[in-house]
């Protein structure tokens, strides 16, 4: 049955109009565990399987960029034990998946204030970045200790520094320069943002980059999110009309 649904979705997709960049807020791990009477850590572990499946299908579909929100600048407010579990799972994920990531051409690009992460996480990230550096398939941005506001603060600081040093003038500050000073420098803005688990907010994710992104949300919790849901999101995305502030099909005035 689910194979039928998958096939129907695959038949519906217009392969020439896939999004170049998909962003996902991987939310709902805690609720998934609580629903089962399990500690929240089980939900975070189960969420890793969803990530594995989604990275794999994005690679198969030849999506260029996938940005996943794994740990926000606000998530430090959680109990230390939960933060530790999340950091341990990150290290485990990288160790376990690195071979497959390499085989499938995935290039890992962590984004966020990485220098504030625990050393074990920084080391594992650095090793994975080095090993995947030359890969030319999917660019996987993992947002860690990431906050959209902090990213904007970092951008403002770097531009201010360049102005102070006389490298650029104030007149040269434009949207292109701002974009190039964000963590996603050189990448197109996300075409599609997916938020599972029913909450309708962006929770400080990619504040600048989401200006004209199509939002897609579902009540499915992240640990239950699989390729069939991603394909459903793609089908819905392709039905949308993106106007970017203009008008549709304007041939004459």
Residues taking part in catalysis: 27, 75
Q: Which helix (H) or strand (E) holds 33?
A: helix 29-35
Evaluate whether 36 touches 42 at the Cβ level (below 8 Å): yes
Dig out the tokens for 57 from the structure: 């299908």
H helix count then E strand count, the chain: 8, 6
Contacts of residue 91, Cβ cutoff 8 Å, sequence gap at least 6: 120, 121, 124
**What is d(CA 96, CA 45) in angstroms, rounded to the nearest whole number?**
13
Q: Choose, by CB under 6 A, the member of 19, 21, 23, 72 that binds ligand IPE.
A: 72
Give the contact letters, 78-107, x = binds to ligand IPE (CB under 6 A), - = no.
--------x---------------------
Choose among ligand IPE, Mg ion, none what residue 142 binds, the Cβ cut-off being 5 to 8 Å by kind.
Answer: none
Antiparallel, parallel or unpaired: β 192-195 and 21-25: parallel
Residue 221 interacting with Mg ion (CB under 5 A): no
Choose among Mg ion, ligand IPE, none what residue 75 binds, the Cβ cut-off being 5 to 8 Å by kind.
Answer: ligand IPE
Residue 71 interacting with ligand IPE (CB under 6 A): yes
Q: Choose, by CB under 6 A, the member of 18, 21, 23, 27 that binds ligand IPE.
A: 27
Question: Closest separation between CB of residue 202 and ligand IPE, Å?
Answer: 8
Stretch that binds ligand IPE, among 15-23, 67-75, 162-170, 172-180 (CB under 6 A): 67-75
**What is d(CA 97, CA 103) in angstroms, rounded to the nearest whole number?**
10
For residues 102 and 152, which CB has a smaller minimum distance to ligand IPE in the complex? 152
**What is d(CA 206, CA 192) in angstroms, rounded to the nearest whole number?**
12
- Segment 26 to 45, residues that bind Mg ion, using CB under 5 A: 27
Question: Closest separation between CB of residue 82 and Mg ion, Å?
Answer: 11
- Can you tell me which residue has the tokens 């074990």? 120
Q: Choose, by CB under 6 A, the member of 10, 13, 31, 135 that binds ligand IPE.
A: 31
Q: Which regions of the chain does DSSP assign to beta strands (E)?
A: 21-25, 65-72, 107-111, 139-146, 192-195, 214-217
**What is d(CA 145, CA 70) in angstroms, rounded to the nearest whole number?**
8
**Sites of contact with Mg ion (CB under 5 A):** 27
Which residues of this protein are in contact with ligand IPE, per CB under 6 A? 25-31, 69-72, 75, 86, 197, 199, 201, 203
């Amino acid at each position: 049955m689910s194979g039928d649904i998958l096939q129907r979705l695959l038949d519906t997709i217009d392969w020439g109009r896939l999004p170049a960049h998909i962003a996902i807020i991987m939310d709902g791990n805690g609720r998934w565990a609580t629903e089962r009477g399990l500690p929240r850590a089980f939900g975070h572990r189960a969420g890793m399987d969803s990530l594995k499946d989604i990275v794999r299908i994005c690679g198969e579909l030849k999506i260029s960029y996938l940005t996943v929100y794994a740990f926000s600048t606000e998530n430090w407010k959680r109990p230390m034990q939960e933060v530790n579990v999340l950091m341990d799972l990150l290290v485990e994920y990288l160790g376990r998946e690195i071979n497959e990531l390499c085989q499938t051409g995935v290039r890992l690009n962590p984004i966020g204030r990485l220098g504030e992460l625990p050393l074990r996480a920084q080391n594992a990230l650095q090793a994975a970045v080095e090993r995947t550096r030359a890969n030319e398939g999917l660019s996987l941005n993992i947002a860690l200790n990431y906050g959209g506001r902090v990213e904007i603060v970092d951008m403002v600081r770097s531009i201010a520094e360049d102005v102070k040093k006389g490298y650029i003038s104030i007149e040269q500050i434009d949207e292109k320069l701002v974009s190039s000073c964000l963590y996603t420098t050189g990448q197109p803005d996300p075409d599609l943002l997916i938020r599972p688990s029913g909450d309708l907010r962006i929770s400080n994710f990619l504040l600048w980059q989401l200006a004209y992104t199509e939002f897609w949300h579902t009540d499915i919790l992240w640990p239950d999110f699989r390729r069939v849901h991603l394909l459903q999101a793609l089908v819905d995305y392709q039905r949308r009309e993106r106007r970017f502030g203009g008008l549709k099909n304007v041939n004459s005035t």
